[in-house]
Structure 1
């Protein structure tokens, strides 16, 4: 699955063999908010994605409501108690909070192993 980005929103790029078209959905919004788009070409898909985001933002502005942001920035992370203990001890030994340590580790991993 591919991804597109526009005005802080990330959208998926998928293909429907049944409908012979491209389609997608804005990622990271709560269950009550859904932004969908489609197209027959990549250019059409991108244009509909951007138009759908713009339409959503305009609709929020007209209604006087704050647009939903993709991803809240809060993440409930599960790990073994042993790993939690090791993370806490290491973070404390370096003067960091657990949150700072985990953020730094994720950033480091993304910079070295991923292309985003």
Structure 2
């Protein structure tokens, strides 16, 4: 199971690199690639939140609308006799 954290409606992964000995992650559900890292869980959380805040600031400065995260829902329509 992959752990995620949330901030301002965005979700981000919590991953660990054995090679680099660091925590890292990326924001889920948008086309833009937003990544963050930290040496501790608190640093990772702080950098995740700073990344989201910086994304909103960048969008504002470039007169762009921030992407809204998509929701992963699956709708299945079944016939009544099933």
TM-score over 0.5 for the alignment? yes
- For structure 2, the 5+ residue unaligned runs are none
More strand by share: 2
Task: Work out the CA distance in 2 between the residues paired with 1:60 and 1:50.
Answer: 16
How many residues get paired?
A: 80
Task: Work out the CA distance in 1 between the residues paired with 2:18 and 2:25.
Answer: 14
Q: TM-score, normalised by structure 2?
A: 0.86
RMSD (Å), alpha carbons: 2.2
Q: Where does residue 41 of structure 1 map in the other structure?
A: 40
Relative contact order, CA 8 A, sep 6+: which one is greater? 2
- For structure 1, the 5+ residue unaligned runs are 91-116
1:2 positional shift: 1.0
Change (3 A) 1:18 1:57: same
More helix by share: 1
Q: Where does residue 68 of structure 2 map in the other structure?
A: 69
Question: Greater CA radius of gyration, 1 or 2?
Answer: 1
Q: Where does residue 106 of structure 1 map in the other structure?
A: none
